[in-house]
Structure 1
């Protein structure tokens, strides 16, 4: 596949639920439980801004795996950064576009990030869009979906048994309503060239088991253009953690891999990486 066009489409607003967040921002959403969970993670816990990760007042941010735009909205509410938000799934991208359409410094792109320019099939879960995943990672993904649903709804139930029964219902094929979408993928380096991004002050990655592919899409000459990286990673064993640490350190980053204890999900980590060249320059 040659260079692709990165185009969006006009969103539809009919029959789409809208919610006012605790800070007064109004957003379109898939469902309230998921929205509350994202708001708590990003706005209240500020989970992406730990271990030395900072948000410049002016600068460039890449939001890879933007979902409905909660991280993009956070960045836009806290700084004057230029934000490039990438989301491959058309139904989720539609909400992202609607939620950021009034923000002049936000560019939304209906494409996913990977290790090459291609297309891939995704399993999309309307009731759990944050856990949508490439089809090749769909096997054994039900346990991750279950953990996600439990975390989304655990504050609504005093009795763990009732919570588990509720999640059992949500996990039924009828309510899960799994859909298959074929999506465009590209690379971070392609986006750096396409949008002339240099430097990138913060690269945020949340791509449900495709993390290594996204990092493989950064060409050697582009690592030095990135000042900070924060990402979620799933299902890492000891060997994969060592591999991830080596990727960052060999490209000049100080890296900390932090088990995400709050979610109580096995092998689920947050990664915080700082480019040592920019640390020294600062």
Structure 2
């Protein structure tokens, strides 16, 4: 796989949410293969510990919709490994396809948005604070797993689409703010992948001609984004069946409103 840049992963520390299975598990294994020490985080603590044991990492239980728990696992990662250089905010869920919005279940809605969107916001905030606290300001990265449903409407489940569109927009918005601090921000947008979120739908999808990817294919996109040059920050990396991951370019909107759309200056370094 051709890498995006010269960012080194060897000897550094990664934290992966939703790392107990699926894309998170595959990404944690790939990052470990690159020489990273990995903190595997999952709401299923036993699954996180099992994956961590296989890669000589640490496993932690966390509900990413709870900002206190998110802050706690980042703190534990630093306590155990001395640093945190890359966060992959991968945890995600599907509740049930909510195509008929008139039948919206508010409890399902809150749970979906809590994990798929709040979990990324809370994770990014914790990651930025953790990266800023490192004694040496070397390159850092924050990656988030969205979906093709983050860049196209997914009519069977508009609530899932809402969360994933939110992730893409949020990550694109914070990227220029963090670039001066050498913190890269990227989003991964996979197509249909064999994960717990897919449930038992694989056979149905393949019968109608929709290919299902294996999680290892998405892990390749994670490595590509993680090693991309800093000037590519804000990238949205699309992973599709039988295609190499590629960086999507968004059309610019010609408008004088852009005069207001300037990056937020980073905080002044302590003296």
TM-score (normalised: structure 1): 0.37
More helix by share: 2
When normalised by structure 2's length, the TM-score is 0.38
More strand per residue: 1 or 2?
Answer: 1
